Amino acid sequence: MSLSDLFGGDPVVSGQQVRVEPTQQRSTARLSGLLDAAAVVVDEVGFDRITTAMVAERAGASIGTVYRYYPDRVAVLQALRERAVLRFRQRVVEQLKTSGTETWWDAVDCAITAFVDLYRSEPGFRIVHFADRERAPISGSEDLESGYFAHQLAGVLAEEFGLHGGPDLIFRLEVAVEMADSILSRAFHSDPHGDERFIAECRRVMRDYLVGYYGPVAASV
């Protein structure tokens, strides 16, 4: 169970994301082009002022092309969100490899950093956010992005740093992810670069919360 396995792959949440999987080369470019356009437009006009026509025009495509790939307006934004989350995971993996990761806190800290970077660099992410509660299926915990991510992170922390795994760890991590997401969302609400006070407080809260259960960082079990 490598890091790439844990953090790669499709999110569980995705209903049928695209109507037709593109096979030709140009269409793959179209698809990502549509999402790029959607990202820019959603940043400019907001979540519910965005129209399919805007996205199409910005991407240099026609309306029909948008609907070839996405069943409706919101599906486009959902896809945008999912792509961003995928990039988040990749960034976490990247940072876990490069920076020396010795304790479980280093890993969590990496995730927070990646999250912040994502908010800063990914257009539209401020709007679509990390988890979409609205149209997630109302069943198990893993159907939520936070739950899914918590699940994965629990795997890493248990395997790589010997934290005691199991449902308790997953539960606490899900709580942690929810908290981090909300504080960081707040940090970026009024400040495109992220209010450092909230970001710092987020790290502190995460650390205190998890240390409370899993002991000081230095002597992780």
Partner DNA sequence: ACTTCTATGATCGAGTTCCGCTCGGTGAGC
Partner DNA sequence: GCTCACCGAGCGGAACTCGATCATAGAAGT
d(C-alpha 110, C-alpha 89), whole Å: 11
20 lies in the binding site for DNA (CB under 7 A): yes
x-marked contacts with DNA along 30-49 as a string, rule CB under 7 A: x-------------------
DSSP code at position 130: S
67 lies in the binding site for DNA (CB under 7 A): yes
d(C-alpha 191, C-alpha 188), whole Å: 5
Only one residue has tokens 């999987």, namely: 21
If the CB atoms of residues 77 and 114 are measured against DNA, the closer one turns out to be 77
The encoded tokens of residue 78 equal 């959902």
Considering only residues 64 to 83 of the shown chain, the ones binding a second copy according to CB under 8 A are 74
Secondary structure (DSSP) of 45-71: H-TTT--HHHHHHHHT--HHHHHHH-S
**Site residues (vs DNA, CB under 7 A):** 20, 22-27, 30, 50-53, 60-65, 67-68, 71-73
Applying CB under 8 A, the residues found at the interface with a second copy are 46-48, 74, 127, 133-136, 138-141, 144, 146, 171-172, 174-175, 178-179, 181-183, 185-186, 189-190, 197-198, 201, 205, 208-209, 212
